Chain A
């Protein structure tokens, strides 16, 4: 099977997964006791108003029809309108998505660098100081709530040292021209160095917070899997052929370890998104996470549903990407 056929098969396989996730979202938000309209309007609203609102949202229809409507609208890319702002939810989310992506990617890169280099060294020098400190670090970081780490960094760099901003994405009016929506990239493309510097300064604390938190999982995975691949015959055989140590560790052992790492990582991305919601809230980062939390406070259930659907779509997309990368690394998967 070629990479292309594999890709196609993988995307087709994702369809039931998306369907199930969307159904789970629907079930959670509609079937669990509790009435979104009641909570939106409060218990004291007159019954006619409530009924009217229910009708407007289609909540008076049988649940199965609601479900079909819901899926049909999603298929058309319609996430409904925010009950609060009356703007299409998709549009509002579109404004917020780049911020979340920027933060997540930055955090991911930090975690990746820490995880891979420290993890590989720890595995190579099993039971050395490197290794023991890696284990202590990963078990400790795993126990730290991401928002607490964020606050401590805010306290240190924002309050005590006063070197970094503690909230927001960029000072008002300094946004670079919109191209991708990722400020760092947009500022680079437009050679807007002032904006670049500010965007980076704002990204630093939330990015490091998120990155450190997820690095513990990465580190653990890389270490564990590399201990395994480093003890395999092919690494010994590569050493016996005089391949340089760096090549043995990174080209042979790490690359082979990447397949199980990526697979678990795909699942762990859930952690990344969850961490991102809390990090965004801690740093008032204007992404999907803060949007979700805000809309829950205002009981804007259409918006909440939309945000969760977007998360579901991102999860599935990432799992597809992970599988494709795996197939690219390991030929045994695609044949």
Chain B
């Protein structure tokens, strides 16, 4: 087929994308993410009740009025799960933005300049990277206290080294590529090389890491609030709701833990499907041999 038009070429690329298993995976992930983002944005308008107020009898199992039941304070679980998506996504995004704002520039500098600066930064970042993420986040959160920004910072501290490592390694290898050498020989200065040549080359892997990190950040946030180090109640938060619900497990009030948990699982699944699919699609050489 002759591909004269851009639209044809895009169409062809799309067909190829959906014919591959990894493309389908990424698509399913993207659909999940879009649904969650929409419900998070629209939560105040579409949720049936105020998530922080008593709106029914406490400990009501799921029914037609309260789809996900009510909690020990008579709050509607469905509204809480819906609003919980806002907090989860907000904190995860904020954390990833902060982490990349620290990790990416440091990685660029470290990989590009090299030398002792590179060695020191790498050593420090590796040490942080090797440390159990959640425990580090717990320590920072314990010092900073609760609040959206504080939690986001605690999580960001954990993930900054990931960006640093990915960027640094890529930059270090791209730096010695011929086309970069050629640009330098033609008189391009360091900034031009960094911005025009190096950055565009590392961006694709950043997108994949970003998506994976969002999944991890949501898990870490849920973990922190499960441990009581997250957002202060009564703000609806999945991790908090889970720890609250656990107190009533022995009374068989399963709905209090089931729905916030499933919300976390599906959202994280969305991110990992998306990132995994994209990663396999962009770097198809892994695991393809017979």
Contact = CB atoms under 8 A, between A and B. Distances in A.
A147 B222 CA distance: 10
A144 B265 contact: yes
A277 B242 contact: no
Interface string B208-247: 0000000100010011001111000000000100110110
Interface stretch (A58-66, A200-208, A241-249, A266-274): A266-274
B226 A278 contact: yes
A28 B124 CA distance: 13
Given A28-B143, A126-B290, A315 B131 contact: yes
Contacts of B239: 145
Interface residues of A, number: 56
Given A148-B261, A227-B287, A155 B276 contact: no
Given A158-B250, A273-B135, A274-B134, 4 more contacts: A20-B124, A145-B226, A145-B242, A278-B226
12 contacts: A20-B123, A21-B131, A24-B136, A28-B143, A139-B276, A145-B242, A147-B223, A152-B257, A152-B261, A271-B133, A296-B227, A311-B135
Contact of A154 (B130, B229, B249): B249
Contacts of B289: 227-228, 231
Contacts of B226: 145, 147, 278, 281
Contacts of B261: 144-145, 148, 151-152
Nearest to B29: A139
Nearest to B288: A227
B283 interface: no
Contacts of B219: 145
B252 A159 contact: yes
B127 A21 contact: yes
Contacts of A16: 123
B250 A145 contact: no
Contacts of B287: 126, 224, 227-228
A220 to B, nearest CB: 10
B251 to A, nearest CB: 8
B269 interface: yes
Contacts of A144: 261, 265
Interface string B247-260: 00110101001100
Contacts of B134: 274, 277-278
A90 interface: no
Chain A CB within 10 Å — which of B131, B136, B265, B276 has the most? Answer: B131
Given A145-B223, A159-B252, A308-B135, A151 B257 contact: yes
A143 B123 contact: no
Which secondary structure dominates where chain B touches chain A?
A: helix
A282 interface: yes
Contacts of A87: none
B242 A148 contact: yes
B93 interface: no
B254 A274 contact: no
A274 B132 contact: yes
A28 B140 contact: yes
A16 B124 CA distance: 10
Interface of B: 123-124, 126-136, 138-140, 142-145, 157, 215, 219, 222-223, 226-229, 239, 242-243, 245-246, 249-250, 252, 254, 257-258, 261, 264-266, 268-269, 272-273, 276, 286-287, 289-290
A272 B222 CA distance: 17
Given A21-B127, A145-B223, A166 B272 contact: no
Chain B CB within 10 Å — which of A227, A231, A274, A315 has the most? Answer: A274
A319 interface: yes
A32 B140 contact: yes
Complex A-B, nearest 9 residue pairs according to Cβ-Cβ distance, in ascending order = A274-B134, A148-B261, A143-B268, A20-B127, A273-B132, A270-B132, A143-B269, A274-B132, A296-B142
A34 B143 contact: yes
Given A139-B273, A311-B131, A293 B264 contact: no
Interface string A115-152: 00000000000100000000000011011111110011
Contacts of B126: 17
B226 to A, nearest CB: 5
Given A139-B269, A311-B135, A24 B128 contact: yes
Nearest to A293: B227
Contacts of A148: 242, 257, 261, 264-265
B74 to A, nearest CB: 21
B69 to A, nearest CB: 14
Nearest to B254: A155
Interface string A18-43: 00110011001100111010010000
Contacts of A304: 139, 142
A97 B209 CA distance: 34
A112 interface: no
B127 A151 contact: no
A239 interface: no
B144 A32 contact: yes
Contacts of A228: 287, 289
Contacts of B222: 145
A205 to B, nearest CB: 12
Contacts of A29: 139, 143
Interface in A270-306: 270-274, 277-278, 281-282, 292-293, 296-297, 301, 304
A277 B126 CA distance: 22
Nearest to A292: B138
Interface string A158-184: 111000001000000000000000000
Contacts of A152: 257-258, 261
Nearest to B141: A296
Given A147-B242, A159-B250, A315 B257 contact: no
